[in-house]
Structure 1
């Protein structure tokens, strides 16, 4: 008498780690719209995995050796999806009796996959795919082989953020998410602009084409030939320049923005600042207290006069015409000034 034995050498189980929220079928759409429910026997349901562009998805693979002998395993993944989408990773190929090993079918596609340009013959773009994992076991002792297949489904779906603003009922229909994605991508440029509107209104980050508008917005009509980055600083601080116009602080700050020289606020001595502004103070002619030839002389007074001393580094260029233009524009009309540019003396080589 011959005893019958099971020919099943191992068990193979696939478990999707990202399950679709809705079953992508037309019958589900009809049921959701009509409120009806179909009855009747259904075939076996295949493991289904949802795949979003730019987001990895995984199918967990569990293999248990149900035989009394150790097995050697070989794997093969097939499907109607591009092979570069999938990678199979496993703990190994040797499986002892009663042991279980795990593997992963790892899927990933480019974030802009659905936005790429496709030839006319490739449209409409395919979104549903089917695959198969084949595992072959070999008994090294007897040479016997056992083959096991498991089919699975892949649903390529764009992730729609608009579903978050709708009741959960709409998530039960796969078509709704794909339909809303059309509107989401249509309005996405406008939404992105609104989300980053602050960057368009900041002169330091705004596009060059928007700088004239921002300059006009703050009443900035300075047209000197400056580098665009210098212009950005001047437009951004225009109100502060207006606030301190006609003062030493305002003139120093303006020259700092236009020339790039440091303010030197941490330097107490005016004669050591990179932008020094020296004012000439005197009592002038005081009757009864002035001695001609000693502390006063005729025709020698220059009231409301100041001197500007710029002390740039050896490799720091200074546009003297620009500096004079700024001083003439910012100083009080009754003031006179002198401009001195002190450059460090290079040691002879």
Structure 2
């Protein structure tokens, strides 16, 4: 067979959200406000938890860790997207592309496990309140956080390693606003079947197992809460758990459609909408979902302002 010389692609063109000049500046302003709000919300929540001794307990250590993961997730995607909206060339090197994917994937994986630990924390606090201080000590909570971050940052390394078996020699245009791994498979000259299979297997395993663990935990919480005679205790439990479940539903709903749904069948613009949701919108919403109805956080904010 005749050998065809092919040049290995080392740079990609990120097409972004739109190529219409009239929309680029408005979109830049909108997403700049969204990003700044996201960072103020998440980093502000971390600072508040660190500053106020009343919030130095497992529930808020977990909440601060979730805020950090959200800040990393948003920062891995949004700044580069904002630059591309105003620049004439949308080039990104292969190394930068893989780094962007790794940081985002690590943050998203870590968030899956953090949501499980948060569900377990609420289960112990509501179903076994007398044993809460013993079971969920700060030391044990920090150990669970360490495990969550360790698994979250190790798992994407496998997919990054497998990316190096692919060659990109024909098209270097990514019709997306960030280096999403499924989009890299589309422009690969090498058959990405092994990569796609492992993405599907690990996505199903991690997302299904963590999601079902969360559901089981909150089912027990709901059962115990409904039996509670105290209206105040019931209201507090419902308020806390409803915030957690809202965040879980938004996060897992979009991930299931992107990485678990067989055959996907999504249109390109649908994929971008789902991606926008879990990369940019959810990190924006989480600090407000968890904080606005939380009296302890509101109280800590008032104390900080008074000082």
* TM-score under structure 1 length normalisation: 0.18
Which structure would you say has the larger Rg? 1
> Which structure has greater strand proportion?
1
Structure with larger RCO (C-alpha < 8 A, sep 6+): 2
